[in-house]
Every structure is written in C-alpha cells, then in structure tokens.
Amino acid sequence: MRALVTGGGGFIGSNIVEQLLDRGDEVRVMDNFSTGKRQNLAPVEGDVELVEGDLRSYERVSNAVQGCEVVFHQGAMPSVPRSVQDPITSSDINVGGTLNVLLAARDAGVRRVVFASSSSIYGDLPGLPRVETMAVSPAAPYAVSKLAAEHYCHVATKVYGLETVSLRYFNIFGRRQDPLSQYSAVIPKFIAALREGRSPTIHGTGEQSRDFTHIDNAVAANLLAADAPGAAGQCFNVATGESQSLNGLVQALNVLMDLDIEAVHGDPRPGDVEHSLADISQARQVLGYEPEVSFHDGLRMTIDAFDRGLAAHGPR
C-alpha cells in the first residue's frame, strides 16, 4: 500500500510512519514542521518521501496525495490551551486543512482517509463512559475544530463517496511526545519534572481523570481503520476503557521511577474537561481493535524511552 501521513513528523504521525514501513508499505509524509520534528523522521529518512508544506495550501496537499491509496490525516494544530489563545489559526488548520485533505483525496482517487479526531469533542456533559452515539458539547476551540472536521469527513463519505474513518483519541502518550513545549501533554511533562527532582504541576485538584492510551494502541487503531470493512463514514473511540486520576498518575510515576515527589496544584485551565472515559465496544466490533498496552506498561515503556533519549542527547 502507498500511504500518506500528514503531520508525519509529529508524535503520533511518526509512530504511524514507522509501523507502516515495518510492514512494507510505501510511505509519503507531509509536514511543515511547525510542531512536528525532523528528528522524529531521522531513523527512516531514506525510506520515506517527504513533501514539506502547510495543510492550508490545497496545492501542496494535492501534490502530496497523488498516487496514494490511504491518507492517515494526523496533521493539526494540537492543544486545547493553544486553541484558546489562537482560535482562528486552530480553525484554519484543523478545519480548513482537513477540508483540503478530503477534497484533494477525492480528486486524486484515494480509497480511504483516516482522520485523527479527539475525545475533547464530548466536553463535560454528564455520562460516562463516552459512547460515539451520545451528545457532544465541545468546551474549547480545539474541540470545536475537531468536531467540525469530523462532520466534513462524514459529508465527504455521504456526498462524494470518499471513505473516511474518524478516530477519537483519548489522551495518547508514549515515545517521542515532547516534554518541553508549554502545550505538552501531562505525562511527558510529569516525567521530565520528576527526573529533574521537581514537583509536577497539576492544574486543579488532581481528581480529574483521563483514559490514558499508549501510542502503540493508537497506531494499531489507525492501521485497522485503513482497511476495516463497514467502517467508512463512522467515528470510533480509541482508548483503553479505563481511567486514571492525575493524582494517581503522579503516584504511579513515583513508584515506577522509585521516587517520592508530591505534585503542586495550580488553577484549572479554561477548556479542560473534568473526566474522560471511553466505551471502546464499537471499535472492538467494527475495527477489531483491542488495546494491547495497558496504562502501567505504557508508563514503563514511556519512562524507558524518555531515559534513552536523555542518554542519547544529554539533559536539555
């Protein structure tokens, strides 16, 4: 299969690229490296075709999709806090860029587009676990942009006959997740702080909970979604079906890292949801998805990857 991975220099995208290559697929990457990193592609530099460009350019997207059978659309402006600060750019990239991908894929005869959506679209409505058929109530511009892009995916299937599958990621974590950005997810930030002997900062009480999902599970879901019959036009939760509090996360990291460092607490962040937990029965039934890496095993693997990065590059 010849595949395009938009945002292939990013955390999730680069892991998808690696797995596609491992199974013998031809891979093209589109990225403008505004948030993705060239070093994420360094191990496979000679094995992928790189198209540098912005998703907001239909011409660049059109060039990138030519000759591809499947597009794994991971490119986006990530982060809820960033979208709160700059909702216009968030919409331009996440909505307008996705529309460019869908139209270019339609015009190029692409078979299927697998879209990286987000659990943030559910917002803070009552009712757990989150089921794909329940009402949604996005609480931040980022979540609104992902929901709008999902709707465009559904319409692209219904109106244009382009197969699309939307994957609602629940707090993906693992190797290559950047701990340095102010917009980083909590797990790499907490690991970095603990490794430096600092107290990690929790925004809020720490009783807020998340369905933390290791990167290997997310990659597996993408590969399944590319071929699963009967999946076109649908959306699926990608998670473990279990939740952990942020206080529990800090405790688990302390145990795994043989430390005893307490977190400090700051003000809650606007746009953050209180609790998140997925029902993954739809992904199991239609995609054949089964999370193979547990929360604690994923934490252990992530700490190991973080330490290998420090050994290779030195403390930053």
Name the burial class of residue 243, with classes exposed (0-12), middle (13-18) and buried (19+) by CB atoms within 10 angstroms of its CB: buried
Q: Single out the residue of 190, 187, 196 nearest to residue 264, CA to CA.
A: 190
Q: Single out the residue of 223, 164, 165, 169 nearest to residue 22, CA to CA.
A: 223
HSE, CB side, 13 Å, CA atoms: give it for residue 167: 31
Burial profile 68-77: b = 16 or more Cβ within 10 angstroms, e = fewer: bebbbbbbbb
Residue with the two structure tokens 């970095």: 192
Instruction: Look up 58 and say whether it is catalytic.
Output: no
- The Cα 316–Cα 307 span in angstroms is 12
Q: Single out the residue of 52, 309, 293 nearest to residue 173, CA to CA.
A: 293
Residue 67 makes CB contacts below 8 A (sequence gap 6+) with 2, 108
Q: Using an 8 Å Cβ cutoff, are 200 and 193 in contact?
A: yes
Active-site entry in 122, 142, 152, 169:
142
Enumerate the active-site residues.
Answer: 142
